[in-house]
């Protein structure tokens, strides 16, 4: 864990720890540059694209990112106080070539997730580092939070709105802190903690050629134990969960980007177009190309 984590005594799934982290972001970090990701243009490399609002905020060191500005691909080095804002279905590409600590605030429909990642040394890998410290609320975002997120989304498409975006983000952080303070604790067993850590790892690395055996090495547990965790805490098996994530992300990319099908297949963890097409058609009822055409026609008539 890094210098900020040590200072705050961050602990996994600890409400008090993440209240302290939220206060640190609000009070200790300087006012910096706010970068707003756009949907276009899109690189052909693996990208993160989510149906949620989220912020990447460096806590120490420097964070290297690539994103679309609307007109061009842009690479940026963020320092503490800077942040990247992504509204739903915009994208980012994380680089791990610079030491840094980072927190991410993710606003989902049913809860708020706050993550902490420490990169003490540069990593030359497409595999995302294991996120072993995070907290998510039992309470959903409030109506006020959702209104502010929509306001940020509207402003993020306009030029010269940095000051207004910064003001709204300060208000958003105050409301987020209030949700954290009002949140109620839920007892969680060590087995459930391990399950959720594996789930987070799959969400971060569905694009890589990973399987149950690989995950067992990452978490230093027996492959059979992974299967038992999914039997206990999920209605889906490990394989079904990973495949669902890949298909879900592929559908988002087909609907919201201009990446070709071959690129999408590779960026969602499929080693060949036939295997991707078979899996996608089984899950969605139509092959990838037809799904994209249907989504395009829906947009034209909406």
- Write down which residue in 130, 165, 182 finishes a domain: 182
The total number of structural domains in the chain stands at: 2
Alpha carbon 31 to chain centroid, angstroms: 23
- Write down which residue in 162, 182, 202 finishes a domain: 182
- Write down which residue in 182, 205, 226 finishes a domain: 182
Could you tell me if 148 and 16 lie in one domain? yes
For residue 250, the surrounding DSSP H or E stretch is: helix 238-256
Please name the residues in contact with 46: beta carbons below 8 A apart, sequence gap of 6 or more.
93, 126, 207, 267
Contact by Cβ (8 Å): 287, 225: no
Contact by Cβ (8 Å): 285, 78: no
Could you tell me if 169 and 271 lie in one domain? no
Could you tell me if 149 and 234 lie in one domain? no
Q: How many helices (H) and strands (E) does the chain have?
A: 11, 10
Could you tell me if 14 and 130 lie in one domain? yes
Could you tell me if 13 and 145 lie in one domain? yes
Could you tell me if 136 and 33 lie in one domain? yes
Domain containing residue 235: 190-300
Could you tell me if 145 and 265 lie in one domain? no
Could you tell me if 156 and 223 lie in one domain? no
Predicted TM-score of the model (pTM): 0.89
Alpha carbon 256 to chain centroid, angstroms: 17
CA distance 144 to 115: 22
Could you tell me if 139 and 252 lie in one domain? no
Which CATH number characterizes residue 199's domain? 1.10.10.60
Could you tell me if 45 and 154 lie in one domain? yes
Could you tell me if 283 and 157 lie in one domain? no
The per-residue pLDDT string of the chain (302 residues; one tens digit each, 9 = 90 and over) reads: 799 999 999 999 899 999 999 999 999 999 999 999 999 998 888 898 989 999 999 999 999 999 999 999 999 999 999 999 999 999 999 999 999 999 999 999 999 999 999 999 998 777 788 888 999 999 999 999 999 999 999 999 887 888 999 999 999 999 999 999 999 877 889 999 999 999 999 999 999 999 999 999 999 999 999 999 999 999 999 999 999 999 999 999 999 998 999 999 999 999 999 999 999 999 999 999 999 999 999 988 87
Could you tell me if 66 and 173 lie in one domain? yes
């Amino acid at each position: 864990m890094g210098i900020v984590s040590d200072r705050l005594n961050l602990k996994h799934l600890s409400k008090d720890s993440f209240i302290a982290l939220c206060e640190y972001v609000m009070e200790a970090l300087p006012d910096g540059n706010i970068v707003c990701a756009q949907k276009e243009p899109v690189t052909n490399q693996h990208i993160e694209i989510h149906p949620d609002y989220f912020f990447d905020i460096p806590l120490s060191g420097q964070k290297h990112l690539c994103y679309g500005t609307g007109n061009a691909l842009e690479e940026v080095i963020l320092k503490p106080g800077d942040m990247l804002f992504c509204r739903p279905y915009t994208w980012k590409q994380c680089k791990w070539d610079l030491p840094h600590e980072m927190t991410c605030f993710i606003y989902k429909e049913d809860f708020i997730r706050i993550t902490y990642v420490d990169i003490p040394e540069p990593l030359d890998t497409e595999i995302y580092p294991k996120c072993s410290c995070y907290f998510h609320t039992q309470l959903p975002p409030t109506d006020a939070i959702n209104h502010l997120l929509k306001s940020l989304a509207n402003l993020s498409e306009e030029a010269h709105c940095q000051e207004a975006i910064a003001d709204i983000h300060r208000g958003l952080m105050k409301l987020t802190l209030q949700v954290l303070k009002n949140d109620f604790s839920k007892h969680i067993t060590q087995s459930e903690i391990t399950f959720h850590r594996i789930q987070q790892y799959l969400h971060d690395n569905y694009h890589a050629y990973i399987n149950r055996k690989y995950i067992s090495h990452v978490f230093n547990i027996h492959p059979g134990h992974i299967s038992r965790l999914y039997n206990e805490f999920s209605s889906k098996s490990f394989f079904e969960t990973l495949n669902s994530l890949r298909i879900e992300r592929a559908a988002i990319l087909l609907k919201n980007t201009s990446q070709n099908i071959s690129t999408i297949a590779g960026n969602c963890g499929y080693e060949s177009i036939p295997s991707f097409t078979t899996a996608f058609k089984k899950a969605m009822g139509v092959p990838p190309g037809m799904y994209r055409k249907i989504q395009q026609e829906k947009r034209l008539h909406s």
